[in-house]
Amino acid sequence: MVHTFYTAKDFPTITERTNLTAKREKTSPLSIRSLLKIDVKDFMTASQGYVIELNDMHGKPAKQEVFQESQTTPITSVEYHYKSKPYLNGSSRLDNKATVIYNNGVIGNNTDIGVFFDFVSDMREHETTTISGSMNGNVDGFLIAAYPVYIPIIIPSFTKEKTQFRSAVITKVVQRFGILEETVAKYLGSVVSTRNLAYDAETGNVLLTQTTTNFNDNVYSLSYPAHWYYDGMGPAYRNIGFTKMGVLFTSGVANIPNAPAYFAEGDELALSDGTIGWVSEVTPSTIKVIKRDGTTISTVTLDLKVIRSGRRNQQEVPMATITTLTNPLAHFQSNIYDNVLQAQAMEFTNSWRTFCDCFGGTAATATTNPYILGTKGMYKNKKSYLHLAGRTQSNYNSNTNIRKDGVFVSYIPFFKLNAGNWEIDGQNWTYTSEVTEFSPFGAELENKDALRRYSAATYGYNQTFPTAVAANSKYKQVGFDNFEDYDFSPCADNHFKFRNHNSNVDDTQSHTGRNSIRVTSGTPVNMTKQLEPCDSVDVCDLQLIANSISNRVICFTISGGKAPYTFDWTTIGSDLNVVIDNTGNSICITRPASGSCQIIITVTDKNKCKKIFPSFVMDSTGS
């Protein structure tokens, strides 16, 4: 096995400089001023620029080859090619121009990614001015008729010389990071090439790849980052460290213009009174802050600083993927995709409930703060979906055409662009699995598949290790205690524990582990559990309620979830006149003038909770 690496010989450090530009201004040596040294000048100004271009290619893998013994041709190999341009003496320099996709669906071509510029300017000036003056005196004497005569002579002298030097030096250091453009894998004559075509403008992660198959066909794979739709999964740099002075809170609410530009739900704030606050709600002009115990801040004026953002840096998590035979960027903004081979989508939520026992018997019961309880604060995958559609099938030489068959007859994306915003359209999508219970400590406790078959798991050892796994069972139907983790710090899980008999657990007798629980004659050990459904805190219980019916118009209001709501609808048969009120809390539909029409209404609340209501038929007769 031979490993080949790029070195500084392949990608050297590049230095360049501009020509020295100098301008001199000097008094002519033949001028009267130079001869008499009166106001003589000698000025010099010079400038020059330097560029140093660095890269991170030294030591990066270039090729991996596997050879059979005594053979010079490799059996398999993998080559890594980075975006670059030819340079001197057969070397290369990195090219950081790439195609990027912004979170509003805009595609940027020839955009710089993976490059830092450090710019330093050095300006200097040195000036010397010399001014001198003198007076020379002399006395001449002679005799006239034996009488001496004296004549004084005074000769003044004045000089002024000025020298000045100015320099301007600009130094630019460019740090380039290699962008992997293509990976070529070879195996016994078979060649598969994978090219990276587009990147996330926010993070630089690869979003679109092109794979060349053994048929020399191109297969494209596009990934949609979840932070495009779920703001809480976005980068924390947007507001972490933000400070604001003199914020007036009234019952926990502060008026802040354009609040979503500075705050996100879940932000942790350091307040000037020495406490920590959590942003529980953000509106276009206000924020609501709660304390550790869940109560609101009293009326007070405080300074604040965001010490932990509600955006939790989950930029690499995808919310959907699509595989096609044609480049999906061609009609990306119009939501039109051709020759789709496979597609999947995931829904996320940061609203979960804690254990059924809700911290019973621990000191943590004194809080209703969802970010302390673990019911909010981290987005997790709630549902996974697959697209339902027919697939093409044709005959080629009386055989199945495996090269071209199998694409969707029609395709509607789960996440669609609408004027730069992402929306969910669940038509022709079915969920394959759903997580129904999460531990506040992050572990998945219960899920169900498309046939509503449940699986569950219990965790112990300070909620770090699974102790029981059950199929065809809900979490509330599973209980296990091996008495092994009672020495850990008390945790919030009392799902199935003999907490009232801790003193009975010892290591004098054991079976499969180190501990057992001692049961003596006349001293029973028991546990009491009330077998009933846990209280649900599902905030996604959206309902449409008909509250106004006239001869031609029927109006619905929305209940459950969190305002404001957005409505979407699909009509089958003919178009209907649909009106939404300004607050977005109700929808009114006018019956068709003749015949009948079927309508499907979709409602999405502020927390991205979405519900598709069963279709119903409206006709002109009023039924």
pLDDT for res 362: 45
* Alpha carbon of residue 212 to chain centroid: 29
Pairing type for strands 40-55 and 147-176 reads: parallel
* Token representation of residue 295: 């109560």
Task: Find which of 85-94, 482-491, 496-505, 518-527 is predicted with most confidence, using mean pLDDT.
Answer: 85-94
For the stretch 450-465, pLDDT in tens is 888 999 999 888 788 8
Q: Using CA atoms, how far apart are residues 221 and 573, in angstroms rounded to an integer?
A: 36
Q: Using CA atoms, how far apart are residues 587 and 567, in angstroms rounded to an integer?
A: 8
**Cβ contacts of 202-210, under 8 Å, gap ≥ 24:** 202/102, 202/103, 202/227, 202/234, 202/235, 202/315, 203/235, 203/315, 203/316, 204/113, 204/114, 205/315, 205/316, 206/180, 207/101, 208/99, 208/101, 208/327, 208/328, 208/329, 210/327
pLDDT for res 537: 46
How many domains in the chain?
4
User: What does each C-alpha distance from 483 to 254, 358, 461, 463, 512 come to in angstroms?
Assistant: 49, 21, 10, 14, 11
Q: Is residue 520 part of a domain?
A: yes
Q: Is 320 exposed, middle or buried (0-12, 13-18, 19+ CB in 10 A)?
A: buried
Q: Are residues 534 and 554 in the same domain?
A: no
Q: Are residues 359 and 468 in the same domain?
A: yes
Q: Are residues 499 and 455 in the same domain?
A: yes
Q: Give every CB contact of residue 189 below 8 A, 6+ residues apart in sequence.
A: none
Residue 312: pLDDT above 90? yes
Residue 256: pLDDT above 90? yes
Q: Is 497 exposed, middle or buried (0-12, 13-18, 19+ CB in 10 A)?
A: buried
Q: Which of 84, 115, 114 is nearest to 206 (CA)?
A: 114
Q: Using CA atoms, how far apart are residues 604 and 564, in angstroms rounded to an integer?
A: 9
Q: Is residue 591 part of a domain?
A: yes
pLDDT for res 582: 59
pLDDT for res 279: 96
pLDDT for res 361: 44
Average pLDDT over residues 433-441: 84
pLDDT for res 489: 59
pLDDT band at 354 (very low <50, low <70, confident <90, very high): low
pLDDT for res 378: 84
Average pLDDT over residues 218-236: 95
pLDDT for res 142: 80
Residue 298: pLDDT above 90? no
Higher pLDDT, 586 or 387: 387
pLDDT for res 263: 97
Q: Count other C-beta atoms under 10 Å from residue 45's C-beta.
A: 15
pLDDT for res 440: 72
Q: Is residue 318 part of a domain?
A: no
For the stretch 46-66, pLDDT in tens is 999 999 999 999 999 999 999
* Token representation of residue 244: 């604001």
* Alpha carbon of residue 179 to chain centroid: 19
Give the predicted TM-score (pTM) of the model. Answer: 0.75
Contact 473, 456 (CB under 8 A): yes
What single letter denotes the amino acid at residue 516? S
Q: Using CA atoms, how far apart are residues 432 and 91, in angstroms rounded to an integer?
A: 51
Q: Which of 459, 478, 475 is nearest to 534 (CA)?
A: 475
Mean pLDDT of the chain: 87
Helix and strand numbers, DSSP H then E, in the chain: 2, 43
* Alpha carbon of residue 452 to chain centroid: 33
Contact 198, 329 (CB under 8 A): yes
Q: What is the DSSP letter of 408?
A: B
Phi, psi of 329 (to 5 degrees): -75, -15
The C-alpha angle with vertex 443 and arms to 437 and 446, in degrees rounded to 5, equals: 30
For the stretch 265-277, pLDDT in tens is 999 999 999 999 9
Note if the bond before 564 is cis, omega within 30 degrees. yes
Q: Are residues 178 and 249 in the same domain?
A: no
* Token representation of residue 312: 């939790």
Residue 527: pLDDT above 60? yes
Q: Count other C-beta atoms under 10 Å from residue 489's C-beta.
A: 5
Which residue blocks in 477-604 are alpha helix, DSSP H?
none
For the stretch 116-148, pLDDT in tens is 999 999 999 999 998 888 888 888 888 787 788
- CATH number (domain holding residue 277): 2.40.30
Q: Are residues 472 and 553 in the same domain?
A: no
What single letter denotes the amino acid at residue 334? S
Q: Which domain holds residue 398?
A: 332-343+353-538
Q: Which helix (H) or strand (E) holds 371?
A: helix 370-373
Q: Is 22 exposed, middle or buried (0-12, 13-18, 19+ CB in 10 A)?
A: exposed
pLDDT for res 532: 58
pLDDT band at 278 (very low <50, low <70, confident <90, very high): very high
pLDDT for res 536: 47
Q: Using CA atoms, how far apart are residues 253 and 575, in angstroms rounded to an integer?
A: 44
Q: Are residues 158 and 15 in the same domain?
A: yes
Q: Which helix (H) or strand (E) holds 373?
A: helix 370-373
pLDDT for res 583: 63
- Counting Cα atoms < 13 Å in the Cβ hemisphere of 494 gives 19
Higher pLDDT, 222 or 393: 222
Task: Give the domain-ending residue among 508, 538, 568.
Answer: 538
Q: What Rg do the C-alpha atoms of the chain give, in angstroms?
A: 39
Q: Are residues 128 and 180 in the same domain?
A: yes
* Token representation of residue 538: 């599902």
pLDDT for res 357: 45
Task: Give the domain-ending residue among 486, 518, 538.
Answer: 538
Sign of the C-alpha dihedral computed for residues 169, 175, 181 and 183 taken in this order:
positive
Q: Is residue 321 part of a domain?
A: no
For the stretch 445-500, pLDDT in tens is 999 998 889 999 998 887 888 999 999 999 889 999 888 887 775 555 678 888 77
Which residue blocks in 497-575 are alpha helix, DSSP H?
none
Q: Is residue 279 part of a domain?
A: yes
Q: Are residues 456 and 503 in the same domain?
A: yes
Residue 363: pLDDT above 50? no
pLDDT for res 433: 92
pLDDT for res 359: 45
pLDDT band at 350 (very low <50, low <70, confident <90, very high): confident
Q: Are residues 387 and 532 in the same domain?
A: yes
User: What does each C-alpha distance from 297 to 68, 255, 278, 290, 377 come to in angstroms?
Assistant: 72, 14, 10, 6, 20
Task: Give the domain-ending residue among 538, 566, 593.
Answer: 538
Q: Are residues 269 and 148 in the same domain?
A: no
Q: Is residue 527 part of a domain?
A: yes
Q: Are residues 513 and 578 in the same domain?
A: no
Q: Give every CB contact of residue 339 below 8 A, 6+ residues apart in sequence.
A: 324, 325, 326, 407
Average pLDDT over residues 331-342: 93
Residue 547: pLDDT above 80? no
pLDDT for res 16: 95
Higher pLDDT, 183 or 355: 183
Pairing type for strands 616-619 and 586-590 reads: unpaired
* Token representation of residue 414: 């789960």
- CATH number (domain holding residue 609): 2.60.40
What single letter denotes the amino acid at residue 10? D
Average pLDDT over residues 576-591: 75
Average pLDDT over residues 290-311: 93
What single letter denotes the amino acid at residue 59? G
Q: Are residues 21 and 54 in the same domain?
A: yes
Beta bridge partner(s), residue 174: 53, 117
Residue 247: pLDDT above 70? yes
Higher pLDDT, 368 or 302: 302
Q: Is residue 365 part of a domain?
A: yes
Q: Is residue 327 part of a domain?
A: no
| Strand ranges for 226-293 from DSSP E | 243-250, 253-255, 268-271, 276-282, 286-290
